[in-house]
Structure 1
Amino acid sequence: MNGLADQGMLELGPETLEYRMIGPRPGDAPTLVLLHEGLGCVGMWNDFPDKLAAATGCGVFVYSRAGYGKSSPVKLPRPISYMHDEARESLPRLLERIGFQRGVLVGHSDGASIAAIYAGSHQDHRVRGLVLMAPHFIVEDVSIKSIAEAREAYNNGDLRARLAKWHPNVDVAFRGWNDVWLNNDFRQWDISEELAYIRVPILIVQGEDDQYGTIRQIEIAQEECYCPVDVALLPGVKHNPAREAPEVTLRTVSEFVDRILRRHEQAAFAA
């Protein structure tokens, strides 16, 4: 896609997706593609994309998946396969549409799971590494407990009002995520098999106090992956490292990105 503006709406088949592009465009430098959490969107990354672009010199592409932010809504209920569908159908079209040439997928929560599914399903040599913040590879009891508490806060607290500031179709955004995770059939969701097919380095950043997942998620990656898996387990941090520990998260992610991109450049130069 030529002439990618700083922000706008991207037509992608039946979907219209909100996006921001910070720094150099995909044809001029590596691109970090940010995939948001289950209730996230472009705006909810705050200034993390801008700081990431400044720290790495890479372009940073941020977008809201269908059903979130200002992107087009989706039909409810979402299928249990919604993260696989995103990784295998929407994300490949998006990368092609923006002219992605080389870079790293940076995902948070649901977005981290989508990035892992993509890398385990596609041998895409443009993707040089994965940054997975608070990823889910299986469904844990702690996940269900916290997601049930989120439903209570949405129905009877102020969560709906807070999310409505970011999501014009707030019920679609919330229920599209919450209803799937609390569906009994979703308890069997497990993407550990995909991890064995990932062929690029991975960085996992997780808070020690993550209310949506335990260190079992990290252990699964270490057990199943044949690729290198770096881990940053952050004390005193819950489910959102980029928001709760922005400095250490930015430094950890930037150092990983610099290292793997430099390694590729050196290998290409040597060849």
Structure 2
Amino acid sequence: MPTELPLPATDFTLLFPDHYLRARTLRHPSPAADGRPWLVLLHDSLGSIRLWRDLPARLATALECHLLLYDRRGYGESAPLGPHPRTPAYLEEEAQTIPAVLAACGITRAVLFGHSDGGTLALLAAATAPALVAAAVTIGAHVFVEEETLRGIRAARQQYTTTELPQRLTRYHGANTEGLFRAWTDTWLSPAFRAWNIEPYLPRVQCPVLVLQGTHDEYGTEAQVAAIAGQVAGLAQAKLLEGLGHTPHRQDPALVVHLTATFLRPYLGLGPLPG
């Protein structure tokens, strides 16, 4: 694995007509990085820039590329969610905003790395904006609703009322905390969401896809992995991570970085990982 470098980080705000997003870039010092696709991180339903911890720097170092991460609308330090309740198609709708985010950052070609909701967004963006997406990596992504997912969300909702979960989330999301938590739980647990399914998009994904999921994922089964890897049109590699749960990038970040870099480096014009 390449030695981790101190990568210059820049925090800034992206302004759109009806909202704003907080964003951060990490720039790799190699001149060759300017010619490579950017790695773009898409967080989960409770995530934020800060909750990625040191993973962005580790990924950018291993892939010798520039990296963008941002707080999705309603998360972290970004603008609150819009005035209208989420619809069952909220992920499909949000995926349509990703090209505008990348354009605002001057990014014309990207590798999308997404966890949970973020992995679903990566697949949807790859399907609907294929010229923009060079490759995708998903961790614990969902393409349909499973009872395991709903069971995990019900447990999280219970924890929200009986533990210090709200206080912990508030450290990362501030005034957005209540809104984002209710939007996530209320939408996924609504009867209207049971029929949600994005499998029809998968054959439109032409780029290479790495599909990762823990064998002990609290929010999904191996059926999600099989559906993604079996239906995308591009080359797909699936890996079940033994003993890990829904956040393997936190439980074993070195493993996730290694698997991601090994898969992506050839598509970025790089040789095998040193060592």
Establish whether TM, by shorter chain, passes 0.5.
Answer: yes
Preserved CA contact (<8 Å) 1:9 1:18: yes
- Name the CA distance, whole Å, in 2 between partners of 1:21 and 1:181: 31
1:232-251 equivalences in 2 (<5 Å): 232-251=239-258
Preserved CA contact (<8 Å) 2:109 2:133: yes
How far 1:241 sits from its partner (Å)?
1.3
Preserved CA contact (<8 Å) 1:27 1:100: no
- Name the CA distance, whole Å, in 1 between partners of 2:122 and 2:253: 21
- Consecutive unaligned residues of structure 1, counting only runs of 5 or more, are 264-271
- Name the CA distance, whole Å, in 2 between partners of 1:172 and 1:27: 38
How far 1:5 sits from its partner (Å)?
7.1
1:269 alignment partner in structure 2: none
1:16 alignment partner in structure 2: 20
* Aligned-partner SS, 2:113: strand
1:113 alignment partner in structure 2: 120
1:82-93 equivalences in 2 (<5 Å): 82-88=90-96, 90-93=97-100
* Aligned-partner SS, 2:85: coil
Preserved CA contact (<8 Å) 2:88 2:187: yes
2:5 alignment partner in structure 1: none
- Name the CA distance, whole Å, in 2 between partners of 1:245 and 1:136: 21
- Name the CA distance, whole Å, in 1 between partners of 2:24 and 2:9: 8
- Name the CA distance, whole Å, in 1 between partners of 2:63 and 2:99: 24
1:71-82 equivalences in 2 (<5 Å): 71-74=78-81, 75=83, 77-82=85-90
Preserved CA contact (<8 Å) 1:76 1:172: no
Give the number of equivalent residue pairs.
258
How far 1:113 sits from its partner (Å)?
0.4
- In the alignment, residue 86 of structure 1 is paired with which amino acid? E
1:51-62 equivalences in 2 (<5 Å): 51-62=58-69
Which deviations, in whole Å up to 9, do the C-alpha atoms of 1:25-73 show, x marking residues without a partner?
A: 9855421010000110110000000111111111110001000000000
- In the alignment, residue 173 of structure 1 is paired with which amino acid? L
* Aligned-partner SS, 2:136: strand
Preserved CA contact (<8 Å) 1:12 1:94: no
2:134 alignment partner in structure 1: 128
How far 1:224 sits from its partner (Å)?
1.7
Which deviations, in whole Å up to 9, do the C-alpha atoms of 1:159-204 show, x marking residues without a partner?
A: 1111011001210121121111111110111011100111001001
- Name the CA distance, whole Å, in 1 between partners of 2:264 and 2:230: 23
- Name the CA distance, whole Å, in 2 between partners of 1:245 and 1:13: 39
- Name the CA distance, whole Å, in 1 between partners of 2:72 and 2:157: 21
* Aligned-partner SS, 1:136: coil
Match of 1:205 among 212, 222, 234: 212
Preserved CA contact (<8 Å) 1:27 1:101: no
* Aligned-partner SS, 1:166: helix
Q: CA RMSD in A?
A: 1.7
1:43 alignment partner in structure 2: 50
Moved more, 18-27 or 67-76: 18-27
* Aligned-partner SS, 1:211: coil
Preserved CA contact (<8 Å) 2:211 2:229: no
How far 1:14 sits from its partner (Å)?
1.4
* Pairing 1:7–2:14 present: no
- In the alignment, residue 150 of structure 2 is paired with which amino acid? I
- In the alignment, residue 106 of structure 1 is paired with which amino acid? F
- Consecutive unaligned residues of structure 2, counting only runs of 5 or more, are 1-7, 271-275
- Name the CA distance, whole Å, in 2 between partners of 1:222 and 1:105: 16
Percent identical among aligned pairs is 34
CA distance 1:138–1:235, change in 2 (3 Å): same
* Pairing 1:30–2:37 present: yes
- Name the CA distance, whole Å, in 1 between partners of 2:57 and 2:28: 12
- Name the CA distance, whole Å, in 1 between partners of 2:160 and 2:45: 14
- Name the CA distance, whole Å, in 2 between partners of 1:182 and 1:167: 22
Preserved CA contact (<8 Å) 2:75 2:180: yes
